[in-house]
Amino acid sequence: MEAILIFRQPDAEEWKALAESMGKATADVVLAPGVVAPEGFNTIPLPQDLISEATRNLLMSLISFGDRCIVGKPVSERLSFGNLRLWHYQRFRIFLSLKTEYLIHTTAEHYQGKYNRITLFVNKQPANLPGSINYITKKGRSREPFNLFAWIKYLFYFGVKLLESGLVNPHPEEKKHAIVDRSLKQWCRNAETLQLKQDNYTLGNLLDKAGDDFLIISV
């Protein structure tokens, strides 16, 4: 018997092909949260205990990694600057980026022990997933042709801006860091004087305090 595990929204043609294949062989169709099947399509929701298990395993892995020592200090401390606990922020980002991957792995391994054949509908093929699995990935968009002329124009424009920055900062070779600011300038206030200025609305005041080690290139 086959288990069809769907982790992305199939299009109309894929649903049609799936219905035809189910008419020829017995299969259980399991839907991940957020996937909607056509009306009358016989499906099974992904069990909540599998979702909880995947979430718990990922959280425990991240906590364990943060506690791992590097030259006498845990990773969480190595990624901290004073009271700024960067690891807590990075841990949240990693959790969000790996949440679906962990759920796919946990689900596939669970159903492999119960079904003879596994088919996975996913956006891209997961890494390091053991066993024989039939992957149906999402059709990617065709790449746009390389526009050499546009790149030449951009490099020329960037070079002009780089020269302008060199004129404003007569000793660019003394700088330790370069920041390319591509933001659309907006009206905002100086954090100290409250005077209006046109600047990077989000990072303008931070860049003002960046110091002499930074070369700001506005493009």
Q: What is the pLDDT of residues 172-189, one digit of tens each?
A: 455 555 666 666 677 877
What average pLDDT score do residues 16-43 get?
A: 88
Read off the amino acid at residue 98.
Answer: L
What average pLDDT score do residues 34-56 get?
A: 93
Task: Tell me the C-alpha to C-alpha distance, in Å, between residue 95 and each of 48, 54, 99, 102, 210.
Answer: 18, 11, 6, 10, 31
Is 151 within the bounds of a domain? no
Asked if residue 88 and residue 35 are part of one domain, the reply reads yes
Asked if residue 176 and residue 111 are part of one domain, the reply reads no
Helix (H) or strand (E) holding 121: strand 117-122
Q: Which residue has the tokens 């996937």?
A: 35
Asked if residue 106 and residue 13 are part of one domain, the reply reads yes
pLDDT over 80 at 84, yes or no: no
Q: How far apart are CA 17 and CA 143, in angstroms?
A: 27
**Strand-strand pairing, 44-45 and 27-31:** parallel
Asked if residue 189 and residue 99 are part of one domain, the reply reads no
pLDDT over 70 at 17, yes or no: yes
pLDDT confidence of residue 167: 46
Is 94 within the bounds of a domain? yes
Q: Which residue has the tokens 């022990």?
A: 113
pLDDT confidence of residue 9: 94
pLDDT confidence of residue 36: 93
Residues 219, 181 contacting (CB under 8 angstroms): yes
Asked if residue 193 and residue 119 are part of one domain, the reply reads no
Asked if residue 127 and residue 170 are part of one domain, the reply reads no
What average pLDDT score do residues 60-82 get?
A: 83
Which of 1-15, 80-94, 129-143 ranks highest by mean pLDDT? Answer: 1-15
Residues 87, 80 contacting (CB under 8 angstroms): yes
What average pLDDT score do residues 12-29 get?
A: 86
Q: Which residue has the tokens 């600011």?
A: 181
Asked if residue 73 and residue 10 are part of one domain, the reply reads yes
Helix (H, G, I), strand (E, B) or coil at 32: coil
Is 196 within the bounds of a domain? yes
Number of structural domains the chain divides into: 2
Asked if residue 132 and residue 211 are part of one domain, the reply reads no
pLDDT confidence of residue 6: 94
Is 153 within the bounds of a domain? no
Asked if residue 165 and residue 132 are part of one domain, the reply reads no
pLDDT confidence of residue 202: 64
Asked if residue 206 and residue 120 are part of one domain, the reply reads no
Asked if residue 105 and residue 170 are part of one domain, the reply reads no
Give the tens place of pLDDT for each residue, 129-173: 777 888 998 764 434 455 665 656 555 555 555 455 554 454 545
Residue closest to 94 by CA, chosen among 70, 76, 74: 76
Which residue range forms the structural domain that includes residue 74? 2-137
Side-chain-side CA neighbours of residue 157 (13 Å): 10
Is 145 within the bounds of a domain? no
Q: Which residue has the tokens 């909607």?
A: 36
Give the tens place of pLDDT for each residue, 43-53: 999 999 999 99
